[in-house]
């Protein structure tokens, strides 16, 4: 039987959210006070940043005398970290991370021995956490698969797009979502919406559904919808697009030198459609863009985050793992954590969790000395909590409602009485 995600669903935070399960890719979902939705007007390729946002949702009230949780607790919610060499809930790192109050953990291949073992590990992690824990995995299909030994081998996204219909992709994603949910996983770091038709084993390669924006968007959207129908959250990656470079950001920082208008006309289109469909999280690329700030990877670049928000995204923005060479060749992990949140990230991802305390303490110190405004940290923590289905107001004194895909996934994961 599938494990139900143990997320605290707050009625006030979900009022007015509309189900989108039948919405076509690119459609804008309507809020409770919105008129009946009309067929969307065709969107000019160069006007991606003008894309309409998901309709505003009623905002839960925050008590005027609200006192936020200690800064350390709020900062901890921004961390999503891996568990190196951990396979049981009795290992010291499990106690350290849950006592620290991290917002989420990333399950990786090294944490997987069997289905029962994964369930037990995740159960221990959740049971020890004071705040509902985000449990994520990287299950794109093809060569990127955390649970291949459990769910089986699946074709790469490029192969699926060539051989399957969008409806078949959606059904396969729903089945995958049920398998992930059965293990206790609540978020998948997929789909890839980068555009690429290069060598299948390139850094993006066959992880991309297509080099055509409309095709990539359609298949990625159906994949995300299928996951949501099974109660699993999705992540669109790698903003603003990793498909134009063959340089591996796991090793070094790629640089892309194309005009912003060219990105808007192609690379940003699938992200715009994902945003319109209410994707709850977008992962930022460790790629520098000459059209933004060529001296910084997008994951640490305020201009990249502003571009994402200008496109209407209201969910969680998270950089790719801070353990990748594009970051580690220049920055320490605590330093990169502060830079990412200052730039606009709401959460930070690190495949290794052994520096989690240093990362959290760096955030606390940055707020204390004014490098990060406390309101910025509260905003970030509130978005993470809301995505997990937790009312953020008691911890942050900030009201943020979940995005549509997140709410739909929580609805699917909630047992009926």
Give the number of other CB atoms < 10 A from CB of residue 63: 9
Q: Which of 248, 250, 293, 361 is catalytic?
A: 250
Residue 415 CA to residue 27 CA, distance in Å, equals: 28
Q: Which residues of 88-117 are buried (b: 16+ CB within 10 A; e: fewer)?
A: ebeeebbeebbebbbbbbbbbeebbeeeee
- For residues 21 and 170, the answer to whether their CB atoms sit within 8 Å is no
Q: Are the C-beta atoms of 267 and 195 separated by less than 8 Å? A: yes
CA distances from 189 to 18, 193, 238, 371 (A): 24, 11, 10, 30
Nearest to 83 by CA among 101, 110, 103: 110
User: Tokens 């959460």 — which residue?
Assistant: 347
CA-based torsion, 358, 360, 365, 366: positive or negative: positive
Provide the H-helix boundaries in 235-321.
260-265, 269-276, 302-310
Q: Supply φ then ψ for residue 408, to 5 degrees.
A: -65, -40
Alpha-carbon distances, residue 416 vs 86, 411, 413 (angstroms):
34, 9, 9
255 — phi, psi (to 5°)? -130, 130
Helix-helix angle 374-387:356-368, to 10 degrees: 140
Report how far Cα 142 is from the mean position of its chain's Cα atoms. Answer: 20
Residue found under tokens 């309507």: 30
User: In this structure, are residues 410 and 88 in contact, taking their beta carbons and an 8 Å threshold?
Assistant: no
Q: What angle do CA 351, 391, 388 make, to 5 degrees?
A: 30
User: Catalytic site residue 250?
Assistant: yes
Buried b (16+ CB within 10 A) or exposed e, 218-254: bbbbbbbbbbbbbbbbbbbbbbbbbbbbebbbeeebb
Give the active site residue among 320, 323, 346, 391. 320
206 is catalytic: no
Whole-angstrom distance, CA of residue 128 vs CA of residue 131: 9
Taking the CB of residue 304, how many other CB atoms lie within 10 A of it?
Answer: 27
- Positions marked active-site: 250, 320
């Amino acid at each position: 039987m599938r494990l139900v995600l143990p997320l605290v669903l707050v009625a006030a935070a979900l009022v007015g959210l509309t189900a989108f399960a039948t919405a076509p890719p690119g459609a804008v979902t309507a809020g409770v006070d919105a008129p009946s939705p009309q067929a969307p007007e065709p969107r000019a390729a160069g006007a991606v940043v003008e894309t309409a946002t998901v309709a505003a949702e009623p905002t839960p009230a925050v008590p005027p005398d609200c006192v936020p949780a200690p800064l350390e607790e709020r900062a901890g919610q921004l961390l999503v970290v891996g568990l190196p060499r951990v396979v049981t809930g009795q290992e010291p790192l499990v106690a350290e991370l849950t006592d620290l109050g991290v917002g989420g953990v990333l399950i990786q291949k090294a944490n997987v021995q069997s289905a029962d073992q994964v369930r037990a590990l995740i159960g221990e992690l959740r049971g020890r956490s004071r705040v509902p824990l985000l449990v994520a995995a990287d299950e794109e299909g093809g060569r990127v698969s955390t649970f291949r030994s459990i769910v089986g081998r699946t074709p790469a996204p490029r192969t699926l797009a060539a051989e399957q219909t969008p409806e078949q992709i959606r059904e396969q994603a729903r089945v995958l979502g049920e398998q992930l949910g059965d293990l206790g996983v609540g978020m998948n770091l997929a789909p890839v919406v980068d555009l690429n038709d290069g060598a299948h084993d390139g850094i993006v390669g066959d992880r991309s559904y297509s080099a055509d924006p409309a095709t990539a968007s359609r298949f990625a959207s159906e994949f995300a919808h299928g996951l949501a129908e099974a109660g699993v959250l999705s992540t669109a990656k790698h903003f603003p697009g990793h498909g134009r470079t063959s340089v591996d950001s796991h090793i070094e920082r790629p640089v892309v030198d194309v005009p912003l208008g060219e990105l808007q006309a192609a690379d940003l289109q699938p992200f715009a459609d994902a945003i319109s469909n209410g994707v709850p999280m977008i992962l930022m690329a460790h790629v520098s863009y000459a059209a933004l700030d060529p001296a910084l990877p997008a994951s640490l670049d305020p201009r990249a985050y502003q571009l994402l928000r200008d496109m209407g995204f209201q969910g969680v923005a998270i950089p790719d793992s801070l353990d990748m060479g594009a970051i580690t060749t220049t920055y320490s992990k605590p330093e990169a954590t502060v830079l990412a949140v200052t730039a606009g990230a709401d959460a930070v991802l690190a495949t290794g969790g052994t520096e989690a305390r240093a990362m959290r303490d760096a955030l606390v110190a940055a707020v204390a000395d004014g490098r990060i405004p406390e309101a910025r940290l509260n905003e970030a923590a509130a978005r993470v909590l809301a995505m997990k289905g937790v009312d953020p107001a008691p911890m942050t004194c900030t009201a943020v409602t979940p995005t549509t895909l997140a709410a739909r996934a929580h609805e699917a994961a909630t047992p009926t009485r």
